Amino acid sequence: MRYRFFVLALTVFFAQFAVAQPRTVTELSEGWKFSRGAHEGAAAPGFNDGGWETVSVPHDWAIRGPFDKEIDKQVVAITQNNEKVATEKTGRTGALPYIGEGWYRRSLSVPALQPGQRALLFFEGAMSEPRVYLNGKLVGQWNYGYNYFHIDITEHVAAGGSHLLAVHLRNVGESSRWYPGAGLYRKVHLIIKNAESIAEWGQYITTPVVNADGAKINIRTKASGKNLRLETEILDPAGTTLAEYKSDNFFQGEVSQDIHVYRPMRWSPETPHLYTAISRLYADGQLRDSTRTRFGIRSISYTPATGFQLNGVTRKFKGVCLHHDLGPLGAAINTAALRRQLRILKDLGCDAIRSSHNMPSREQLELADEMGFMFLAESFDEWAMPKVKNGYARFFHTDAEKDIVNLVRATRNHPSIVMWSSGNEVPDQWGAEGAKRAKWLQDLFHREDPTRPVTVGMDQVKATMQSGFGALLDIPGMNYRVHLYEEAYKAFPQGLLLGSETASTVSSRGIYKFPVVKAIEKQYPDYQCSSYDLEYCSWSNLPEDDFILQDDKPWVIGEFVWTGFDYLGEPTPYDDKWPSRSSYFGLADLAGIPKDRFYLYRSRWNTTSPTLHLLPHWNWAGREGQTTPVFVYTSYDSAELFVNGRSMGVQRKRTDSSAQHRYRLMWMDVKYAPGTVKVVAFGTDGKPAAEKTMVTAGKPYRIVLEPDRDTLQADGSDLSYVTVSVVDRQGNFCPTATEQLRFDVSGAGTYRAACNGDATSLELFHLPTMKTFSGKLVVLVQSKKEAGSIELRVTGKGLKEGRVALRSVR
């Protein structure tokens, strides 16, 4: 009898223990089968997928190519480029095979659910129009490929066991203006939680009072269940518990907690301190759910008197626009690749990012929080009026509200986000109907998050003055149109303007054209753009035009340069030329290697490390005696140039000449002679402070490898970016080398991809061979799921090979 009582008591204990467990979150990364095409019956369990490719998610099915001019060839006149006549656009969406249907299938193991438990699938992005099936039955769908969404699958998996999960995706032609990627390019998770639980994205953390002495943290939490108690613990950036708060006064499923923190460590790009809120939900005294949320303590304000302020200090955005592709990785999200981008931008002195023109990934926002970047989170490139035949306009009337709701609720706890954008260069800027849409969207953002303002990137500024569109925005965003800034400032009532998209100067890394003159829409037989940084588009301008507005107009609150990195697709000014399949706008190329223009911005933005950069290169066989201007981008105000020991004179930045003389040092009459070029920069005391030298290189002799990291995590996805350069026998960089190289990775790593930054290259990223472009390329080495040594070996005909040792650790 005692034994039976003991067994009964033990059974009750374990039953209570089982139901008391908080949620589980499982990433569904492995075990996927994938195939292109319209496979009839592919959602059903009996379908034979034995011949399908085994892939891991995130996955971009199109990035492996091949490049083909016939893929999504669009015969259009691009309104945003001021085109009046339709022409054939062959590389507008990257010339990669993203169009068509794709299927993903995998087994989904689910434990038998306890009474009241819920099971959800969470998709962080799927390109595009995902339709989700379980055991052959449609259980959920979405349309916008850039958005996050979740599906409740409880009724389909309640009994537990193994289930077939299938996802169908469809990309139609003329649905994008750039390379959108294809497939399950962001993460997928299975979430299992109790009936008494915190709602998905149901916690909203704000800091309504912030100063040096203290901060009030408000945490609003939505939850389901009865007899609930919420216990919240606040950890400081070091992980020390600062405060605890218990609440049981739920009203209509929501509770609000005000927690005070004394002498807070405030979040900013310079001090990205992050606190953590751990919330535990109890029902009838039992733990039922738990969430962990990182947040920052910071204040933001936008006023005509003070401009934009972060933590009470006026500052201007030093921002860049970024598309979501990661160059040779395509759209498939990778944290190591994103972290590298942000490290490069930190060196630039950049402090802000605009997600263009899409909803940012969770990983990008987490890194922005952690590394210190303010974020302008954008939503749409189209509203009701289309830019491309099959763009988001198809879904705007039915989906825009739920897409904004998901964007805001999923991301609003990120301290990096300081502004929302409801659109970019939408044709709806014309007329009263467009103004109504702008207000409707802005009101949606305010309803979901009243703490941040809303902007729109406007390119039809005259139209928005007439319609009232620009006047109703929280922050008027100006895309280019520098000649209209003054007029817009006077016309709009807000008392401030944002350069939401600026410059669009074009250049190819290491390529220089003569004569050196300003040029609009300039084209050359090699389909490259000059890196003297004096070429731009018919609708854009040179960097200095924006610099002057930033420096001289207190009501201009900053800029977001188009773009931080080159991206796949939109190869302006060669939209109608083949082969040309990626952009020329970036401060860094598609491989992430900085162009000359990177250092022009760095000389202004990076206030902690001096800049002294010299261009062009000095290998000009056949130009002997010809005029070859030399530019210097520097944070110093003056410098002296020497060619083969002979002084070319001292140049100083000045305001009494062209805009370029205000920000660049330029020696326009230098005659080329092989040898040595040296620049000596002077400090404010007039004494030499720094110098830079370059020489005419000899013939390519050796391969040099330089990894950005030599230690990787053994997780199967970590990356080291290895810059590969060709040098002569004396070790001098060979800036014109175009050598075909081969890559071999051995040990606890694999070859992932390579990229040389050439917008005209049709070499495939995933094959272990590629030509250098302007003497360089980048190889991506990926870790395996095992610790150990990794070696990358790079060879080329007639060249001394390069080797580098890496390691993978747990």
- The catalytic residue positions are 425, 501
In angstroms, the Cα distances linking 535 to 323, 499, 512, 569, 581 are: 22, 20, 11, 19, 19
In angstroms, the Cα distances linking 357 to 321, 323, 456 are: 9, 7, 11
Q: Which two tokens stand for residue 270?
A: 């310079």
166/118 Cα distance (integer angstroms): 20
Q: Which of 603, 602, 599, 604 is nearest to 616 (CA)?
A: 599
354/419 Cα distance (integer angstroms): 9
Bridge partners, residue 151, by sequence: 121
- Residue type, position 696, single letter: T
Question: Would you give the DSSP letter of residue 269?
Answer: S
State residue 114 phi and psi, 5-degree precision: -70, 160
Number of helices followed by number of strands (H, E) in the chain: 12, 48
Q: Which two tokens stand for residue 160?
A: 């537990």
Q: Which of 639, 641, 615 is nearest to 628 (CA)?
A: 615
441/435 Cα distance (integer angstroms): 10
Can you tell me whether residue 747 is helix, strand or coil?
strand
- 380-417 burial code (b ≥16 CB/10 A, e <16): bbbbbbbbbeebbbbbbeebbebbbbbbbbbbbbbbbb
State residue 256 phi and psi, 5-degree precision: -120, 135
Question: Would you give the DSSP letter of residue 79?
Answer: G
In what side-by-side order are the strands of the sheet with 769-771?
711-713, 802-809, 788-796, 740-747, 769-771
Residue the block writes with tokens 């007029």: 487
Q: Give yes or no for a contact between 471 and 432, defined as CB atoms under 8 angstroms apart.
A: no
